[in-house]
Amino acid sequence: MSKTARTLLKVLVDQRRWRYVDFERAFRRAAAQVLAEESRNLTVSEAQFRRWTAGRVQTLPGTEACTVLEHMFGIDAVVLFEAPPSVAPAPAFNLEDEILMTARDAQSEAAEAAAASISDTTLDQLRDDVATLARTYSSTAPFDVFQQARELREEAETQRDRTQVPVHTQELLIVAGQACALLATAAFDLGSLDGAKRLCRSAALYGETARFDPLRGFAGGTLAYIAYFSNQPAEAARLARQAQMCTGLGDVARRRLAAIEARAFGYLGNAASAQRALDASQAEGQGATDDLHDGVAGEFGFTVERLAMSNSSTCLLLGDGDQAETAATRALELAAQRPASQRSVRVVGGAAADLAAARLLRGDLDGAADALERVWVVPRDQRATGLLTRTSRVRRALTGEPFRGDQLAGELGERIEDFTRLSAQHQLGTGSGPLAALEA
């Protein structure tokens, strides 16, 4: 082996105007093409590259490295590490070789790009899984929703790490954001308001990063709802109004946000603003839709019976028992029109509890007892935060005048206590007791 300061390898590298990074990239690609699976990650350090091109090697590199070099240049490795011929000109630029090398590089880079993407089938399945979870939310225990949504978010993030295709990245951000929004809702239903708030902000951030405003609008509304149940009605009203400023929201999204705003103003005792928001929530829309509240729908939607139930709670906060009873009755009637498999037991239970509270406002204890029959049948794992807060309101009303000391009122109160104690969030230790937002 010659000990001269230059090698043919150096000449060929200079002809191609390769820096170390260019050489190393070409070396890795060639290794991936010609070596066995277990050796395809072979690479070259910069110090090694300098020694090779300067002729500062006493023996040939290893067999695998020589194989790669011969594939790269089409010249025997022994010759590559010799000094270039002194009498003959340096190897001339060969256009055909350059074209072939460019073609090999392009093929290799295309293969790398393909490996750095995910299939449309994988993305479609993730979208479908999130949509299915959202659409079955009302008939699924919040704890199970939380588990499934967590897996979906993690899978979306795993797939996002595997792709460099911008459109896939954006779609995966949306999927992860939707899963995060369902996590927030499930956490809220399980009584973990702090966890729900953090998850909800994460969902909003996903929506912002993906430039998907319907997700931002939904997350903003949920944050307002959490603030309302955290005894921060002014903050809840502010967040609901802020969410309404998101672009691209459909009529369903805007009705939901108006209903949440109405609840916040009802809690504040601002009858005029609450009524304005109530009217807005029930106004005829413009026929606008969006891909989340209407396209995916389910828990991201806002059914007419859910709207009626929400508005009945607002009316109770304002002390308007008659309007509350009308809205709660309408919610129950609308829910009854749905097939049993599509009927939300939480909406039915919540509307029934509001109906009982409205009847107690006018002294109708027997009517309240009748309404509560639809509450008792709600399964333990479906007794979410909103429902427990409504039954707590009824429990408190039963201890006041004119029902204090009444036998039926006492029995109903005890049943409500058992109903709450046996709920999933209390059994799991996530609920700290009925929340105070509807206790005004």
Could you read off the pLDDT of 209-229 as tens digits, one per residue? 999 999 999 999 999 999 999
Of 30-34, 200-204, 233-237, 315-319, minimum mean pLDDT range: 30-34
* Same domain assignment for residues 84 and 155: no
Same domain, 281 and 169: yes
Residue with the larger pLDDT of the pair 201 and 108: 201
Domain with residue 171: its CATH number is: 1.25.40.10
Residues 333 and 405 in one domain: yes
Residues in the chain, total: 440
Question: HEC string of the chain?
Answer: CCCCCCCHHHHHHHHCCCCHHHHHHHHHHHHHHHCCHHHCCCCCCHHHHHHHHHCCCCCCCCHHHHHHHHHHHCCCHHHHCCCCCCCCCCCCCCHHHHHHHHHHHHHHHHHHHHHCCCCHHHHHHHHHHHHHHHHCHHHCCHHHHHHHHHHHHHHHHHHHHHCCCHHHHHHHHHHHHHHHHHHHHHHHHCCCHHHHHHHHHHHHHHHHHCCCHHHHHHHHHHHHHHHHHCCCHHHHHHHHHHHCCCCCCCHHHHHHHHHHHHHHHHHHCCHHHHHHHHHHHHCCCCCCCCHHHHHHCHHHCCCHHHHHHHHHHHHHHCCCHHHHHHHHHHHHHHHHCCCHHHCCHHHHHHHHHHHHHHHHHCCCHHHHHHHHHHHHCCCHHHCCHHHHHHHHHHHHHHCCCCCCCCHHHHHHHHHHHHHHHCCHHHHHCCCCCCCCCCCC
| Predicted local distance difference test score (pLDDT) of residue 95 | 64
What average pLDDT does range 32-45 have in this prediction? 81
Residue 77 pLDDT grade (very low, low, confident, very high; cuts 50, 70, 90) = confident
What is the predicted pLDDT for the residue at 84?
78
pLDDT band at 436 (very low <50, low <70, confident <90, very high): very low
Mean pLDDT on 336-356: 94
Number of domains in the chain: 3
Arithmetic mean of pLDDT over the chain: 88
In a domain, 2, yes or no: no
In a domain? residue 88: yes
321 shares a domain with 349: yes
The answer to whether residue 158 is domain-embedded is yes
- Chain centroid to CA 423: 26
Name the percent of the chain lying above pLDDT 70: 88
53 inside domain: yes
Same domain (yes/no): 125, 186: yes
Which of 34-43, 89-98, 322-331, 388-397 shows the lowest mean pLDDT across its residues? 89-98
Which domain-ending residue is among 89, 115, 141? 115
Q: Which of 115, 139, 157 is the last residue of a domain?
A: 115
The answer to whether residues 78 and 226 belong to one domain is no
Q: Give the mean pLDDT of 421-429.
A: 74
Residues 90 and 218 in one domain: no
Say what the pLDDT of residue 39 is.
Answer: 73
Examine residue 1 and state whether it is found in any structural domain, yes or no. Answer: no
**278, 302, 326: which is the final residue of a domain?**
302
pLDDT of 86 higher than 70: no
Q: Give 74's pLDDT tier (boundaries 50, 70, 90).
A: confident
> Which pLDDT value is given to residue 81?
87
pLDDT over threshold 80, residue 320: yes
CATH of the domain at 368: 1.25.40
Both 95 and 186 in a single domain? Answer: no
- Of 57, 47, 46, 48, the C-alpha closest to 22 is 46
Q: Are residues 259 and 396 in the same domain?
A: no
Predicted model pTM: 0.74
Same domain for 308 and 177? no
Instruction: Write the pLDDT tens digit of every residue in 232-280.
Output: 999 999 999 999 999 999 999 999 999 999 999 999 999 999 999 999 9
pLDDT score of 297: 96
Q: For residue 85, tell me if it sits in a domain.
A: yes
Domain hosting 20: range is 8-115
Verify that 308 and 258 share a domain, yes or no.
no
380 domain residue, yes or no: yes
What pLDDT is stored for residue 114 in this prediction? 58
Same domain, 164 and 73: no
